[in-house]
Structure 1
Amino acid sequence: MWPTMTTPNAAVRRVRKRLPYPLDVMLTCVRWYVACPLSLRHLEEMMLERAVSVDHSTVHRWAIKLLPVIEKAFGPRKREVGKSWRMDETYIKVKGEWKYLYRAVEEAGNTIDFLFRAKRDKTAAQRYFEKAIAPNGAPETVTIDKSGANLAGLHIINLEREAPIKIRQTKCLNNVVGQDQRAIKTVK
C-alpha cells in the first residue's frame, strides 16, 4: 500500500492542514480512485462500510489536491523503464468530448507515459514523445502501428538526436498496448 509518511514534506503538510481527515484515509481513497475502476460514489460506499463517513465530492477534492503532491513526491523514485517501447493512441470521451489518448508501454507492460490531445496528427505525436522521453530517457526501439502521424512525429524527434531511435511499424507487436487500452475504455 502507501509508504508511511511520518515526516511528510511541506506540500503534504499544507494540504493536510486544510483537510480534517487522517492522511491514511485520504491516501487510501485517492489510491483506490486512481488505481481501480471505481466511481466516487462506490468509494463513498466502501468507506462507509469501514465506518468512515465521507462524501464522494470530498474524495474528488482530495484527488485534485493530493495527486500533484503525490506525483511530485514519488516521481523521482519512479523505476526505470525498458528500452523497447510499444506506443499507440486511442480515442476516449472526456467530459463529453472525444480526445486522443497517446500511451506507451514497455516490454513488461508497464505504462511509460500518456498524453491527451484533441487531434491525432504529427504535432501531437511529437509532443507525446518529447513528454515521454524527458523523464524516462530515450528508448532504443519504438514499435508503432501504421499511423503516418506517429511515424512523422518520431522522424522529427530523430532529427534532433545524435543516435536515432529505431522505429518498427507493425500492428501485431502493439497488441500489448491495445489489450491494455480495453480497461481504459470501460466506463466508470
Structure 2
Amino acid sequence: MISFKGNHYPNDAILYAVFFYVRYSVSYRDLEEIMQERGVKVDHATLNRWVEKYAPLIAAEAKKQKRQVGTSWRMDETYIKVKGKWVYQYRAVDKQGKTVDFMLSETRDEEAATRFFEEAIGNNILPEKVVMDKSGANKAGLTNINICHFLSGCWLSFIDIIQVKYLNNIVEQDHRFIKRITKPMMGFKAFRSAAATLDGIEVAHMIRKGQLGQEDGPAYRQFIALAG
C-alpha cells in the first residue's frame, strides 16, 4: 500500500491528477485549471511533485499485479528528449503486444541492456526467446544473462536470441502510444521527471490493454486501485 502521509489533499484527488497527466497530452498549467474546475485548488508545481513521487510507486505496483505475459518477447528502445539530449526508453512486449517491462536509461549500451533484461526477467517469468533488432549492445546484454545462467548451472534456462534487421513491428507499433503522449510535452527538464512521467504513461497503457484484470472499471479507477 502506498503511503500518502503528510498530504493535505484527498488521496483520490492526487491519483486522479497523476492519472490525467500521464494519460492525456496536457500541460501542468492545463491540469491545474482542470483540477480547479473539479473543486481542487492546486498549483502546477505541486502537480509536478505528485507525478514525480507517485507515478513510480504506481508503476512498481502495476508490475507486481499485471497479468502474466507470454514467453516470446519483442524488445526495442525508443528515444525521449531530456534537457535537449536524447535518452532511451527500453521496452519489451510479448507476441500479443502485452507490456513486459520498461526502463528509462541515459545510455544505450551493453550495461543498460543488461540491467533492463535483469529487471524484466525479475518481474516476469523467464522468456523462451527474445526478438530484437541488430543492436550489438542489446544482444550483448541478453548474452550476459545467458552466461549468468550457465555459470549458475541453469542449463535449461538459456534464452534464444533472434535478431532481425527490421524488428517485428509489434513493439514498434506499441511505441506509438508512448510517443503520442510525450510529444506535446516538448521534452523534459530533468531525468527524474522524465522517468516518473514515463512510468505513469506505461501504466496507463497497460490499463488500456487490459493487463491489470479490471477491464470493466473506468481506467482512472484501476489506476487509483493500484495504490491499495
- TM-score category (smaller protein): 0.7 to 0.9
> Separation in 1 of the partners of 2:71 and 2:160?
11
> Separation in 1 of the partners of 2:63 and 2:158?
27
> Separation in 2 of the partners of 1:175 and 1:33?
28
Letter of the 1:126 partner, please give it: T
1:167 paired residue number: 161
Letter of the 1:95 partner, please give it: K
> Separation in 2 of the partners of 1:152 and 1:75?
25
1:184 paired residue number: 178
1:6 paired residue number: none
The reply to whether residue 154 of structure 1 matches residue 142 of structure 2 is yes
Letter of the 1:183 partner, please give it: F
Query: 1:108 aligned to 67, 77, 96, which one?
Result: 96
> Separation in 2 of the partners of 1:154 and 1:130?
9
Residue deviations 1:36-85 (CA, integer Å, cap 9, x gap) = 33322221122222232221111112223323443455543232121111
1:82 paired residue number: 70
Letter of the 2:173 partner, please give it: Q
1:22 paired residue number: 10
Aligned to 2:168, what secondary structure does the other structure show? helix
Letter of the 1:187 partner, please give it: P
> Residue 118 and residue 40 in structure 1: after superposition, are their counterparts in 2 closer, same or farther (change >3 A)?
same
2:46 paired residue number: 58
Residue deviations 1:109-164 (CA, integer Å, cap 9, x gap) = 23222222233222221111111111112211111011121112211211222221
TM-score norm. by structure 2 comes to: 0.69
Aligned to 1:20, what secondary structure does the other structure show? coil
Query: 1:46 aligned to 15, 34, 46, which one?
Result: 34
> Residue 170 and residue 96 in structure 1: after superposition, are their counterparts in 2 closer, same or farther (change >3 A)?
same
Letter of the 2:73 partner, please give it: W
Letter of the 2:69 partner, please give it: V
In the alignment, structure 1 segments of 5+ residues that lack a partner are 1-8
> Separation in 2 of the partners of 1:126 and 1:93?
22
Which of the pair has more CA radius of gyration? 1
2:58 paired residue number: 70
Aligned to 2:69, what secondary structure does the other structure show? coil
In the alignment, structure 2 segments of 5+ residues that lack a partner are 150-154, 186-228
Q: Number of residue pairs matched?
A: 176
Say which structure, 1 or 2, has more relative contact order (CA 8 Å, 6+ apart): 2
The reply to whether residue 131 of structure 1 matches residue 119 of structure 2 is yes
Query: Which shows bigger deviation, 39-48 or 136-145?
Result: 39-48
Aligned to 2:87, what secondary structure does the other structure show? strand
Contact preservation (8 Å) 1:87, 1:174: no
> Separation in 2 of the partners of 1:110 and 1:95?
30
Runs of 4+ in 1 over 6 A off after TM superposition: none
